[in-house]
Homo-oligomer: A and B are copies of this chain.
Amino acid sequence: MTTTEGVDNGVNVQALLDAREALKGAPEAAQFTWRATTRWEKGVHTTTTVKDFAGLGAEQNHKAESAFTADHPEVFAAEDNGITPIEYLLVGLGSCLTAGVASVAQNRGIQLRSVEATIAGAHDIRGILGADSDVRNGYNAITVSFKVDADASREDIEALVAQSQKRSAVFDALTNPTDVSVEVV
């Protein structure tokens, strides 16, 4: 696949294709560690910061530190200083799939005009409240609906979205299990 001239979605596909080839022969450089630090404020209000990560065999930094507030809404008797932790999963999913659509479109020579994804997660809160031990704590199901305006047929747009899903880090993380270990230091 080559990048079609004249199409510019702002994704440097050539750099990604070059990285793919380079990392085939250097698997250790492909090992990234992403990090975050969460500090308790009060109640269920927390602040999480993200700044540094490791990858390409070295310590790396984002240009700026980002801080994220989480809380519970007033209907849970909290102060609603920010979105809930589980909503951050929808932020990750929507942004990952949408970034993927742009990358695949660039690679396929499809000019995008606009992309919007609506994400909805169905959550039975009896799980986290301990009201019913048969109810899971997490989402029961998540739906993502894309509106894409592009120089492409509906069939090509559906194929774009399907390919984005196939390569999405967050889609995989939500649809398949990951080992999470929690310790007290």
Instruction: Specify which chain B residues have a CB less than 8 angstroms from the CB of A78 in the assembled complex.
Output: 11-12
Say whether chain A's binding surface is mostly helix, strand, loop, or mixed: mixed
Residue from the list B91, B94, B101, B178 in contact with A138, Cβ < 8 A: B178
Number of copies of this chain in the oligomer? 2
Q: Is the CB of A75 within 8 A of B98?
A: no
Residue from the list B77, B143, B169, B183 in contact with A128, Cβ < 8 A: B169
Given A90-B50, A91-B70, A95-B88, residue A102 in contact with residue B183 (CB < 8 A): no
Q: For the complex, what is the distance from the CA of A31 to the CA of B175, rounded to whole Å?
A: 21
Residue from the list B44, B158, B167 in contact with A130, Cβ < 8 A: B167
Q: For the complex, what is the distance from the CA of A89 to the CA of B103, rounded to whole Å?
A: 21
Instruction: Specify which chain B residues have a CB less than 8 angstroms from the CB of A6 in the assembled complex.
Output: none
Given A10-B43, A92-B89, residue A129 in contact with residue B20 (CB < 8 A): yes
Q: For the complex, what is the distance from the CA of A172 to the CA of B136, rounded to whole Å?
A: 8
Residue from the list B33, B46, B141, B182 in contact with A146, Cβ < 8 A: B182
List A residues 7-48 near B (Cβ within 8 Å): 9-12, 15-16, 19-21, 23-24, 27, 30-40, 42-46, 48
Asked if A137 lies at the interface with its beta carbon under 8 angstroms from chain B, I say: yes
Q: For the complex, what is the distance from the CA of A57 to the CA of B41, rounded to whole Å?
A: 30
Interface residue count for A (Cβ, 8 Å)? 129
Q: Is the CB of B90 within 8 A of A46?
A: no
Q: For the complex, what is the distance from the CA of A82 to the CA of B144, rounded to whole Å?
A: 22
Q: For the complex, what is the distance from the CA of A118 to the CA of B19, rounded to whole Å?
A: 29
Q: Is the CB of A177 within 8 A of B179?
A: no
Smallest CB-CB A-B distances: 10 pairs: A38-B94, A88-B92, A10-B43, A138-B173, A85-B96, A15-B77, A70-B95, A44-B99, A138-B172, A40-B115
